[in-house]
């Protein structure tokens, strides 16, 4: 089993590249079945989701689609609701489109909760979510429960395949779990 040491933490390989590829394929098949007669717009949430999105859209079967990118940052101000800051705003019209938001991981669901509201406010026809990983035990926003999930994970911190640790290690070809 491969291991990585990063910033004083020890990580062990959890999903190998071939396991990831199987998970991605399964997600792609579900999306392909559901969107066969639609022309979805994939909205990829940078930075983390770029690796998953790249594999996912190439694994689709017979889906005519478009892809665009946004970059957001969630922060908590004085109010009780988190605000979404658009670092790279949406560049494409989503009105009347079937939008599929692509994420690397859904944790509390705050990012997805706010992005879904944003897309609906802009007149999207439907909005669904595809994510490589989902931490159901940490979900705080029920409307952020993703429709398409590569794999569920408990509360551990993971890196690789787009997921970062302070900006680094996104380029790892496997997903690694932190070991205490
Ligand atoms: P949420 O808004 O709480 O769902 O947070 C989602 C974001 O938190 C993801 O897009 C990641 O950037 C980050 N995140 C959550 N868990 C992890 C993890 O285990 N490793 C790396 N990033 C994570
Ligand atoms: Mg992210």
Q: CA-to-CA distance for 25 and 10, rounded, in angstroms?
A: 29
What is the distance in A from the centroid of ligand 2 to the CA of 72? Answer: 8
Residue in this structure with the two tokens 């020890």, named with its chain if needed: 10
What is the distance in A from the centroid of ligand 1 to the CA of 106? Answer: 6
User: For 55-174, where are the E strands, in sequence order?
Assistant: 66-76, 82-88, 98-106, 126-134, 148-152, 158-159
Residue in this structure with the two tokens 């026809």, named with its chain if needed: 125
**pLDDT digit string, tens, across residues 115-153:** 999 999 999 999 999 999 999 999 999 999 999 999 999
Look up the pTM and report it.
Answer: 0.95
Q: Give the chain's radius of gyration (CA, Å).
A: 16
**pLDDT digit string, tens, across residues 27-58:** 999 999 999 999 999 999 999 999 999 999 99
Q: CA-to-CA distance for 84 and 90, rounded, in angstroms?
A: 13
């Amino acid at each position: 089993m491969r291991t990585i040491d990063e910033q004083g933490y020890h990580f062990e390989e959890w999903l190998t590249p071939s396991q990831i590829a199987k998970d991605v394929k399964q997600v792609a098949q579900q999306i392909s079945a559901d969107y066969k007669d639609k022309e979805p717009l994939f909205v990829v949430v940078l930075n983390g989701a770029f690796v998953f999105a790249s594999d996912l859209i190439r694994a689709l079967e017979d889906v005519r689609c478009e892809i665009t990118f946004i970059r957001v940052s969630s922060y908590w101000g004085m109010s009780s609701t988190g605000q979404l800051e658009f670092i790279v705003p949406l560049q494409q019209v989503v009105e009347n489109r079937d939008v599929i938001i692509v994420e690397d991981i859904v944790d509390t669901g705050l990012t997805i909760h706010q992005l879904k509201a944003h897309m609906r406010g802009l007149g999207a026809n439907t909005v669904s979510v595809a994510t490589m990983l989902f931490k159901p035990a940490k979900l705080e926003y029920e409307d952020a429960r993703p429709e398409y999930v590569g794999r569920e994970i408990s509360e551990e911190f993971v890196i690789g395949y787009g997921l970062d640790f302070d900006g680094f290690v996104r380029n790892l070809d496997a997903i690694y779990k932190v070991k205490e």
